[in-house]
Structure 1
Amino acid sequence: MKKSISICSICGVVLLLSLFVPFVSCIKQNGKNNPDFKSDSLVAHFDYFNYKGDDDFYKLNPLPDKDYYYNPILPGWYSDPSLCSNGKDFFLVTSTFSFFPGVPIFHSTDLVNWKQIGHVLNRPGQLPLDGQRVSEGIFAPAISYNPHNKTYYMVTTNIRKGNFFVKTTDPFGEWSDPISLPNVKGIDPSFFFDEDGKAYIVNNDVPDGGSQYEGHRAIRVLQFDVEKEETFGPSIMLVNGGVNLDEKPIWIEGPHMYKINGNYYLMCAEGGTSVNHREVIFKGDNPIGSFKPWAKNPMLTQRHLEPDRDLPITCAGHADLIKKENGEWWSVFLACRPIENKFENLGRETYLMPVKWSEDGFPYMTEGDELVPRIVEMKGLERDSMTTFGNFEKYDDFNAPVLGMEWMTLRGDASDLYSLTTDSGFLTLNCADVESSELKTPAFVSRRLQHHKFECKTCMYFKPQSEDESAGILLFKDETHQYLFSVGKKGAQNTISIKKIKENGADVIDSMNVEITDGPIEMKVISDGKNFSFYYAIGQSDWTLLSNSVDAYYLSTAQSYGFTGTNIGLYASKKSY
């Protein structure tokens, strides 16, 4: 039931409210900090945003002890994970495609308790994304530490601009402006810093003589001059096609090189990032020499398992390896956890599991019919209370001077389209002259979905002045797969509606005429994993169901396209669908 709290009662329940903030609705409506609707600019004010995960698996399968953790360790579309270590600290990055800021960076001292410390690409000058589709932009960032100059490097592909790297001596601080790599073609570059001080970049590119079939690619290596910050010498092909060219393998990519016990290892993904994804490993005598594949490849995959198995983990691959101080080897990689092999709304997430070693000296994560585990033990782990996995609740009252690190905008920082008023605690969105389906920067501030079952709530103050204006909650997969839950106007009547945004416009799923004053409009989205339900409340009224059984499959990668999962967030526009 919704709560109504008068001014005189607030003082008496301050302690109670501090404990149950996420359950309190729009308290500011009764205070002196109501937003002013008389300003010249048409805006939507959002009082708070609450996200609550409610997946059954976590409720039915509690962790047995403090030295266990859940996979994925980073739920939601934290794809293409890469990590490095300075011997004590671990740093991990993932892809962000056409969202801003780019490349979240996480810190840990044990590989399980991760805390986001910022974004590597947090300035517009580092991240030109104009006109790029959601699944373009930044691909497969790779982070490395060079102990010879105590510098961290992040190298990646901006799919419309080419390959580049940035660097820093303090990963908790700012990173450099981009340094272009014009001689590194293709995608997915990764640094390797050898023990002798020499440096190399491995990457995906076309094979010698060109591609012979669709998806035919190669892994190449170039030498890198650390002082001059440029590559030199020829681009040498290390792998042609994949493990076995006779089988016409596709999309060999995501390479990483390591030196372990005097041997050089080259690890790559094969098969594309869908259900045929797999990770393969090669061994060589030097970084630019001949690399031989492991006879028991792949070292990680789930592609051959029964698709109707319980709680499937699919698409496993694009891995990176790391060694702990105790000598254990571990791997991060991407994978999906769809419902019924159909609802892939969360995208490709980051998983962690231990590495085993074969008798002939190759690392691997799975063999035969082994499953990627959902619950994993790490002996000696001290799991803290701020873990990034499991069911959790996140409440943002927008009282901070900057947005939290989970929030993103599209193709730019959108600083001219939103503001945070710290004296009253609102996120204010200007109604932009941009629709969410355009390849521009809309007034859309969003976060990843991280659970199949969830509840999201917000409280909005908004009075549309024309039929072109709308504001509310947007569920966003890509330019042509969205659900817009918004307040708008039709003629002289205010409305609240659900619209299914598609390639050529939008269909109205449900709509209701509503009376809007200067008071609050609360909005709530509940997901059972397969369907969304949408609720609203005007002023102090109870929740009203606007629409239920809205198909979540429409926002699944299996239905649409692309490399991200679904985002949910706050939206305002003066170009109505």
Structure 2
Amino acid sequence: MSLLLLLNCAVTSAQSASQATFHWFDYQGRDPVFTEPLGRGQYQNPLAAGFFPDPSITRRGADFYMAVSSFAYTPGLPILHSRDLVNWQLVGHALTRPSQLDMSGLGISRGIFAPTLRYHNGLFYLIGTAVDSGGNFILTAADPAGPWSDPIWLPPIDGIDPDIFFDEEGRVFITHNGPPPDEPLYEGHRAIWLWEYDAAARQVVAGSQQLLVNGGTELSREPIWIEAPHLYKHQGWYYLLCAEGGTGYNHSAVIFRSRSLDEPFEPYGGNPILTQRDLDISRPAPITTAGHADFVQLADGQWWAVFLATRAYQQTYYNTGRESFLLPVSWKDGWPHILPAGQLIPYRTDKPAGLAPVPVSDPLTGNFNWRDDFNDTQLDSHWSLLREFDRSWLKLDGHNLRMQAKPVGLDSLAQPAFVARRQQHMHFTASTALNLPEQGISAGIAAFQNETYHYYLGVRKQGTAYQVFLEQASGAKPRQIAARSVPDTDGKLRMKIAGDAGQIEFFYAVGEGIWQSLGGSQDARLLSTEVAGGFVGTTLGLHARLEQKDE
């Protein structure tokens, strides 16, 4: 018994020595486009600032819900809720446990691609794609805040961005992006396919596959990346809303229609019904890459569209990822219209008529301050992890976040000890306070875009002294670009990241001392999609790492 107690004490002591303790995390956004008060009866675009891409929307009575892509972040598939269509709040996630999905070893822009969220006969349905980790699937839930079911996998479907549509006759259909019927004619040549789905048997109906769109709006012009289909029925017509042009500057939304799902879909002659690619690229405060839309009809018959777009600096750079926006839909000559050609997406415009404002306690847009004092025993829903659902390495004790350092860093395809929240503003500060760590580990704050593009401001013990250091990963392995010795005054250190569009700076303060810059102003463009590639936005958070012995 004595030996067992000694062994347990030794294990506990070793774990404590490799543990980082954080006391709080504070995030403040201060974008100029959000500074002026909203006009009477107006709402703010984007609805959800930061990395909330590929929005899909549904309505249950007076409640609206959106689901967005999450790629290789966990928990996956964020669920947003609103009562007035303009004030949104994060209420849960659909993917919360390892029995649903395994994304271990994936790059950050793999995993969960664009979902579709629908409500039908008392049940919510989420259909999506787990790229490199299972394929297409359906989840169901009685409450969209969760819990959600384990996936129903759809093995016949080859492609991404599936949609589920419930016909008034009781039939269910799935549309999705997939390979064209023959060999691709050019780079980006894709197609939209339709399948019937047997909800009772929970499987795709064999032999039901049909081609709806080959290539896009006009095959002879070689349109690229037709994707993100959503199917609707309105006044006797079936409408197919898709994204076209790729996810970059030429992104757009296009519309097709047909009298029957057994007949060809014709494209609208005025396509695209949403884009910003035809505007002056040097315009101030640009909203760009608009497309990938979804429609919702209100109880009084109004139609509105949610869609993704980005807020750029220096014309084409954006670190905040693809965000969710809202605009009204008008109908003319049997076709839906979101935005006339050449017109700017407004940052502020009139709210939906007839919906009383319902403010939320935790807003997703505008300038705000978000703080976590770690005074709960569960991690706040705004925090995300990488790839895996495992949380055994972190603990909240009601006062602090304690994080067990791991031997892998932010450049690894394993799960590092890293908790992150979205960067939702071009101009922001993110700060924390932590205990100075024991020998053998580093701990600190990071700005993360992906495995090969990120910054890490850390502190480690070297002999009897401490060193604050700054690492940069810019398309390769991280390298140290600045370091400074710091005294151990009271065992605590504060750290801060200050972002200013294409510039970023890192600070530290010993105890309650003044902030000191480490490394000066750095290039934040390496955290942009333009440089780093992929489909995610920058996240900001806390990291702990076991250090190599030669350090």
| TMscore range, shorter length | over 0.9
Q: Which residue of 1 aligns with 2:178?
A: 205
Contact 1:342–1:553 (Cα < 8 Å) also in 2: no
Give the SS at the match of 2:449. strand
The match for 2:511 is 539
1:409 paired residue number: 385
Instruction: After TM superposition, list the pairs within 5 Å mapping 1:449-488 onto structure 2.
Output: 449-466=423-440, 469-488=441-460
Q: Which amino acid aligns with 1:318?
A: H
1:351-403 deviation line (CA, Å, top 9, x unaligned): 01111222x21111112211111102113442525332100011100011111
Secondary structure of the 2:525 match is helix
Aligned partner letter, 1:499: E
Q: Which residue of 2 aligns with 1:221?
A: 194
C-alpha distance 477-357 of structure 1, shift in aligned 2 (>3 A): same
1:2-401 matches, within 5 Å, as 40-59=16-35, 61-65=36-40, 67-147=41-121, 150-160=122-132, 161-232=134-205, 233-358=207-332, 360-378=333-351, 379-380=353-354, 381-384=356-359, 386=361, 387-401=363-377
State yes or no: 1:494 paired with 2:477. Answer: no
Could you say what secondary structure the match of 1:188 adopts? strand
The amino acid across from 2:23 in the alignment is D
- The letter of the residue matching 2:186 is Y
| SS of alignment partner, residue 83 of structure 1 | strand
Counterpart AA for 1:172: A
Match of 2:422 in 1: 448
Shift of 1:472: 0.1
- 1:517-549 deviation line (CA, Å, top 9, x unaligned): 552101111122221122211123222222331
Question: CA-to-partner distance for each residue in 1:211-251, whole Å, 9 max, x for gaps?
Answer: 12111000000001111011113311100000000001111
Listed as ranges, the gaps of 5+ residues in structure 2 are: 1-11
CA contact (8 A) 2:275 2:341 kept: no
SS at match of 1:124: coil
Distance 2:436 2:261 in 1: 60
The separation in 2 between residues aligned to 1:435 and 1:549, in whole angstroms, is 23
* Partner SS for 1:341: coil
1:521 partnered with 2:496: no
SS at the partner of 2:99?
A: helix
- Tell me, yes or no, if the aligned pair for 1:435 and 1:575 is still in contact at 8 Å: no
Number of the residue aligned with 2:546: 574
Contact 2:83–2:358 (8 Å) recurs in 1: no
Task: Quote the Cα distance in structure 2 between the aligned partners of 1:551 and 1:408.
Answer: 25
Name the SS of the counterpart of 1:455 in structure 2: strand
Partners in 2 of 1:133 and 1:473 — Cα distance? 21
C-alpha separation between the residues in 2 aligned to 1:569 and 1:484?
10
Displacement of 1:40 in angstroms is 4.1
**Map of 1:10 onto structure 2:** none
Q: In structure 1, give the amino acid aligned to 2:293.
A: A
Task: Give deviations 1:38-57, integer Å, cap 9, x for gaps.
Answer: 96441110000010101111
CA distance in structure 1 between the partners assigned to 2:482 and 2:13 by the alignment: 27
5+ residue gaps, structure 1, are 1-35
- The offset of 1:470, in angstroms, is 1.2
| Farther off after superposition, 151-160 or 491-500 | 491-500
Question: How far did residue 176 of structure 1 move?
Answer: 0.6
Distance 1:212-1:128 versus aligned 2 partners, 3 A rule = same
AA matched with 2:455:
Y
CA separation of 1:103/1:385 partners in 2, compared to 1, >3 Å: closer, same or farther? closer
Matched residues, number:
533
Q: 1:296 to 1:504 in 2, by over 3 A?
A: closer
**1:298 partner SS:** coil
How far off is 1:107 after superposition?
Answer: 1.5
Alpha-carbon distance between aligned partners in 1 of 2:125 and 2:396, rounded to the nearest angstrom: 33
Residue-by-residue CA offset, 1:309-360 (whole Å, 9 max, x unaligned): 11111100000000111211100000001112243100100001111222x2
Q: Is the 8 A contact 1:464 1:494 kept in 2?
A: no
Q: Is the 8 A contact 2:73 2:386 kept in 1?
A: yes
Give the structure-1-normalised TM-score: 0.90
State the distance in 1 between where 2:536 and 2:342 align.
28
Calculate the aligned-residue CA RMSD, in Å: 1.7
Of stretches 402-411 and 107-116 in structure 1, the one that deviates more from structure 2 is 107-116
- Corresponding residue for 2:527? 555
Distance 1:96 1:437 in 2: 19
Q: 3-state DSSP class of the match of 1:547?
A: coil
Higher alpha-carbon deviation: 135-144 or 114-123: 114-123
Alignment of 1:421-440 (within 5 A): 421-422=397-398, 425-440=399-414
Read off the aligned partner of 2:342 and give its amino acid letter.
D
Percent pairwise identity = 41
Q: Secondary structure at the match of 1:558?
A: helix
Contact 2:46 2:324 in 1 (8 A): yes
Per-residue deviation, 1:504: 3.6
The question of whether the paired residues in 2 share the 8 Å contact of 1:464 and 1:487 is answered with no
CA distance in 2, matches of 1:111, 1:40: 47
> In the aligned structure 2, how far is the partner of 1:183 from the partner of 1:189?
12
